[in-house]
Structure 1
Amino acid sequence: MSDCLFCKIAAGEIPATVVHETPTTLAFRDINPHAPVHVLVIPKEHHEDALALAEAGLAGDVLSTAAAVAAKEGIAESGYRVTFNTGPDAGRTVFHAHAHVLGGHPLEMRLG
């Protein structure tokens, strides 16, 4: 999509600090991190949300990339969180499916 921020990052039109790339995914540092390690993993193709990602058969690619990021960032053994924000109540702001890989210190589990 021509107006999608993450499509532009995947196409190299907007710079990002890339930490990992596969033929189908791109992982880059979040510009507003919420943890010492906060990396976004996107499919290179535009899919609006996690359901569309699963229907396209790319959810496994995104999760495998998230695990590779955790290993590269040194948080695989201590633990990390992978989240997908879907819908307005989740605080989603970019309508291109993406996973957040968070870690680097103990993460609280807050709901509500």
Structure 2
Amino acid sequence: MNPYTIFSEIIAGTAPSSMVYEDPEVVAFMDIRPVTPGHLLVIPRVPARSLAELDPALGGKLFQVGQRLAAALRESEVNCDGVNFFLADGVTAGQEVFHVHLHVIPRTPGDGFGLRARATSPQRADLDYLAGSIRGALQRNPGIS
């Protein structure tokens, strides 16, 4: 699969971006289609199309940087009251750019952003059944990341 995305150009410095953070492993920049003012993207420099391809340590680094950025958003002129992290993994989950990226979305009262879900209340037996299935997958595949 072709690892090229617009994020590759941003990392290389050949596409415009409003960079907020850079280190040897991760960069963060303003989203060009923000859902709220101050919306940031945190991406690894090494492309990974999905979470399955992402080194777990690098995944942890994305969230560590996201946590720092969340604190910075609160202290900046964005002055948000809360922050959502969002990461879409796969087409069905809403992923559009196939280079893993963590959205850091500042929240203020009445900002109009929200997640809509149809919540259910499954029976405990159904929850236990699925928990057992997931535990089994972890045991069969200790390298699942």
1:4 lines up with 2:5 in the alignment: yes
Once superposed, which parts of structure 1, at least 4 consecutive aligned residues long, lie more than 2 Å away?
Answer: 75-79, 106-109
Deviation at 1:10, TM superposition (A): 0.8
Aligned to 1:94: 97
Structure with greater strand percent: 1
Could you list the per-position Cα deviations for residues 9-40 of structure 1 after superposition, in whole angstroms to 9, with x for gaps in the alignment?
A: 11111110011112210000000001122100
| Aligned residue-pair number | 111
Deviation at 1:79, TM superposition (A): 2.3
Structure 1, gaps ≥5 residues long: none
Q: Distance in 1 between matches of 2:46 and 2:11?
A: 8
> What is the letter of the counterpart of residue 93 of structure 2?
A
Aligned to 1:111: 117
Deviates more, 1:1-10 or 1:80-89: 1-10
Aligned to 1:78: 81
Aligned to 1:25: 26
Higher relative contact order (CA 8 A, sep 6+): 1
> What is the letter of the counterpart of residue 16 of structure 1?
S
> What is the letter of the counterpart of residue 86 of structure 2?
T
Q: Greater CA radius of gyration, 1 or 2? A: 2
Q: Distance in 2 between matches of 1:94 and 1:5?
A: 8
Deviation at 1:2, TM superposition (A): 6.4
Could you list the per-position Cα deviations for residues 51-83 of structure 1 after superposition, in whole angstroms to 9, with x for gaps in the alignment?
A: 322x35201110011111112211798321111
Contact in 2 for aligned 1:79/1:103 (Cα 8 Å): yes
Q: TM-score, normalization: structure 2? A: 0.67
Q: Distance in 2 between matches of 1:36 and 1:56?
A: 30
SS in 2 for 1:58: helix
Structure with greater helix percent: 2
> What is the letter of the counterpart of residue 58 of structure 1?
L
Q: Distance in 2 between matches of 1:64 and 1:77?
A: 19
Structure 2, gaps ≥5 residues long: 119-145
Q: 1:37 to 1:77 in 2, by over 3 A?
A: closer
Q: Distance in 1 between matches of 2:26 and 2:10?
A: 11
